[in-house]
Structure 1
Amino acid sequence: MTDLSTLRFFRTPAHSCSYLEDRQASTLFVDPQAKLSPELYSELSLLGFRRSGDYLYRPHCEGCNACIPARVRVADFRPRRRHRRIEKTNQDLAVHREPARYTREFYNLYAAYIDQRHGDGDMYPPSEEQFTNFLTCDWADTHFYCFRQGETLLAVAVTDQLEDGLSAVYTFFDPQLPERSLGVMALLWQIRHCQHLELPYLYLGYWINQCQKMEYKSQYRPLEILRSGAWKEFDPD
């Protein structure tokens, strides 16, 4: 176990929040010069950190605690009727694990997704450099789980292996196929994969009660959230 007290952290200046209007945000980063590893990543995930590219971070905003780390306790997960319907709709897809890397095929799907789903966000416009810097990592155990119909790539779930689970880093998919609900399908598949690997948790990043874009995470139960340094079962009431 790493002595976390020896790590240095850096806080960004305040900037406009990507999730809540009229809010200022700042981010706490682990020193990029530190020796990062999947083991350290696993320890920091327990404290609410996430990965973006080669960096480990968590929100650290003045006077705001809206971003709450969340994870699914997969052994007790019970799919809803909608989930079962989506899995049935996508039963013609094959899922293969591929190295986390830039390819023209991956990038074209990513760019189409960002253009059509996040054209008003801070990830627009997409670029090859952004794709590589955001999704790949030199030190993490990262894989692209690729959902294909025959030879056609429909979705990619970018997933990190942790000691106690998987971390759902990002999913991008064909935005022209809303009837498949590919984003939901990718999360359901990652939950199933955790069960297959006998790992207890799927880390979902941050749940934000006031943000409609993040509300979907509360649909995967039982959900645990990190409050006051302890993981507790999510209570919607």
Structure 2
Amino acid sequence: MTQHPTQSPQFFLTAPSPCPYLDGQFERKVFTHLVGDKAPEMNDLLTQGGFRRSQNIAYRPACETCRACVSVRILAGEFTPSRNMRRVLHANSDLIGVMHDAEPSTEQYSLFRSYLDARHRKGGMSDMTVLDYAMMVEDTHVNTKIIEYRRRGPDTFITGRGHGELIAVALSDQMADGLSMVYSYFDPELADRSLGTFMILDHINRAKAMGLPHVYLGYWVNGSRKMNYKMRFMPQEHLGPKGWERFEG
């Protein structure tokens, strides 16, 4: 009988670079490749251990002098939206999200480009081409989904599909214990809809419907204003030295 050696992941450490969240700090990351048949199982384990996925790479902070990045996951089954969140849900009740396999489209890239140009013109993703975007979506060995949000149309209750132009998109991993939001973007001219909040609320509802206990939001960075929105979704758990611990603000 032929025996195949067990392949353990190899981990690597990046060189220090300026932190994109905290002025004066430098970040380092430990990372490994997510490839092969065991990638979905490995992604589950690493995400539960505080890693994030980008294409076929799983990474987490390994900074020498800072521990501000904290992994956050929402307890979907216990979540109750606030009054403001209920208003966001009502304001977007004309939208429907369709989940399908992670496949890029020119329509997605056009919206993605508009979002970057309006919100992150000086960010690290600002120069992404259509090929870079396709790689971001397709280069995955795990169970990755795209959710496209459009206005409800006359066919909604027949096909489950929306109608009209693309308004928002979420790239998410479906894991054994939850949904992990990898990246999301939306029409920057529709800021009054609070589409970022809406997509998180939609993921919580989807996780509940699928019987999954968690929605992973990535890192909350203590001291970074751009990350404060993640603290609005309670109850949640934070990953610390003793493992995942309940946090209610």
User: TM-score, with normalisation over the residues of structure 1?
Assistant: 0.93
C-alpha separation in 2, matches of 1:108 and 1:98: 19
Greater displacement, 177-186 / 26-35: 26-35
Contact residue 32 and residue 59 of structure 2 kept, 8 A:
yes
Residue number among 229, 239, 246 corresponding to 1:226 in the alignment: 239
* Contact 1:114 1:126 survives alignment (8 Å): no
2:73 to 71, 74, 83: 71
The answer to whether structure 1 residue 157 and structure 2 residue 170 are counterparts is yes
Unaligned 5+ runs, structure 2: 1-5, 152-162
Quick one: distance in 2 between partners of 1:152 and 1:34?
36
Work out the number of aligned pairs and report it: 233
Aligned counterparts, 1:123-142, within 5 A: 123-142=125-144
Q: Write the distance in 2 (CA, Å) between the matches of 1:140 and 1:229.
A: 28
Q: Deviations over 1:76-100 (max 9, x none)?
A: 1010111100000100111111221
Cα–Cα, structure 1 residues 182 and 223, in superposed 2: closer, same or farther, change >3 Å? same
2:212 matched residue in structure 1: 199
- Cα distance between partner residues in 1 of 2:36 and 2:69: 25
| 1:114 alignment counterpart | 116
Identity of aligned residues (%): 36
Shift of 1:36: 4.8
Q: Offset of 1:126 from its aligned partner? A: 3.0
The 2-side partners of 1:11 and 1:214 are apart by 24
Cα distance in 1, alignment partners of residues 205 and 237 from structure 2:
17
Report the CA distance between 1:133 and its aligned residue: 3.0
C-alpha separation in 1, matches of 2:31 and 2:38: 12
Contact 1:164 1:201 in 2 (8 A): yes
* Deviations 1:28-76, CA, capped at 9 Å, x for gaps: 1114677651111001111101100111111111111111000000111
3-state DSSP class of the match of 2:140? coil
Asked if 1 retains the 8 angstrom alpha-carbon contact of 2:33 and 2:56, the reply is no
AA aligned opposite 1:39: E
Q: Which of 54, 57, 61 matches 1:55?
A: 57
Which deviations, in whole Å up to 9, do the C-alpha atoms of 1:112-132 show, x marking residues without a partner? Answer: 001101112111123213312
Answering whether residue 33 of structure 2 is matched by residue 20 of structure 1, we say no
- Aligned mates of 1:99, 1:235 — CA distance in 2: 34
Cα offset, 1:14, TM superposition? 0.5
CA contact (8 A) 1:7 1:34 kept: no
Structure 1: any 5+ residue segments left out of the alignment? none
Relative to structure 2, which stretch is displaced further, 184-193 or 223-232?
A: 223-232
Provide the rounded CA distance (Å) in 1 between the counterparts of 2:48 and 2:195. Answer: 28
Tell me if 1:187 matches 2:200.
Answer: yes
CA RMSD after TM alignment:
1.7
CA distance in 2, matches of 1:229, 1:171: 30
CA distances 1:188-213 after superposition (whole Å, capped 9, x unpaired): 00000000001000000001111011
Using the TM superposition, name which of 149-158 and 127-136 deviates more: 127-136
Distance 2:142 2:185 in 1: 20
Pairwise CA distance, 1:7: 2.5
Distance in 2 (alpha carbons) for counterparts of 1:163 and 1:37: 13
- 2:8 is the counterpart of 1:6: yes
Equivalent residues of 2:40, 2:143 under 8 A apart: yes
Length-normalised TM-score, structure 2: 0.89
Tell me the alpha carbon deviations over residues 100-151 of structure 1, each in whole angstroms, 9 at most, x when there is no partner. Answer: 1221001000010011011121111232133123333331111111110122
Of residues 120-129 and 52-61 in structure 1, the stretch that sits farther from structure 2 once superposed is 120-129
Q: Alpha carbons of 1:178 and 1:105: their partners in 2 closer, same or farther (altered >3 Å)?
A: same
Whole-Å separation in 2 of the counterparts to 1:93 and 1:7: 41
Letter in structure 2 aligned against 1:210: G
